[in-house]
């Protein structure tokens, strides 16, 4: 790898951090970006556990290792305002992941004896039961036509 690859990684990082700098950086847009750039997924998840300054240092080291260039060359192309923007974006990323984790761990709302399931994914039991009902209905239709 070379300087060109390092700059490509810096540009990808800037795109991702720019996505987080918008006021409406949402979970889906971050996940969509990570789907399009799979080599960043583990790094981004790791950065949610680090302090923002440590995450920025790790990001620089990773770019240098991936592109096989010395850190001084990368440091010469990164401006101080880029570093402050990156640190702020990492903080927003951490907040986004923290909020999402808190949202996922909320208990289901209860209404009287009924429990409101706020997750749209059907349970395995419901989907198997639905499938069995569909098969029974299909067999009845075949018997009527035969």
Domain boundaries, the chain: 3-104, 118-145
As averages over each run of 10 residues, the pLDDT of the chain (146 residues) reads: 72 75 67 84 86 88 83 80 83 83 65 58 63 84 81
Question: Residue 129: which region, alpha, beta or left (left: phi > 0; alpha: psi -120 to 50)?
Answer: alpha
Distance CA 120, CA 105 (A): 15
38 DSSP assignment: G
CB 93 within 8 A of CB 30: yes
The DSSP bridge partners found for residue 114 are 111
Q: Give the total residue count for the chain.
A: 146
- Please tell me the predicted confidence (pLDDT) of residue 123: 56
Tokens representing 49 are 């556990």
């Amino acid at each position: 790898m070379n300087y060109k690859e390092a700059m490509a990684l810096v540009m990808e990082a800037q795109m991702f951090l720019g996505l987080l700098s918008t006021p409406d950086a949402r979970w889906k847009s971050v996940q969509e970006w990570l789907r399009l750039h799979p080599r960043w997924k583990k790094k981004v998840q790791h950065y949610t556990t680090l302090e923002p300054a440590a995450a920025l240092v790790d990001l620089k080291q990773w770019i240098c290792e991936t592109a096989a260039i010395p850190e001084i060359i990368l440091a010469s192309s990164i401006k101080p305002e880029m570093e402050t923007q990156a640190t702020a974006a990492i903080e927003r990323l951490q907040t986004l992941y923290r909020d999402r984790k808190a949202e996922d761990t909320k208990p289901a709302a209860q209404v009287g004896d009924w429990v409101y399931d706020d997750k749209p994914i059907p349970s395995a039991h419901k989907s198997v039961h639905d499938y069995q009902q569909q098969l029974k209905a299909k067999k009845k239709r075949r018997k009527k036509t035969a």
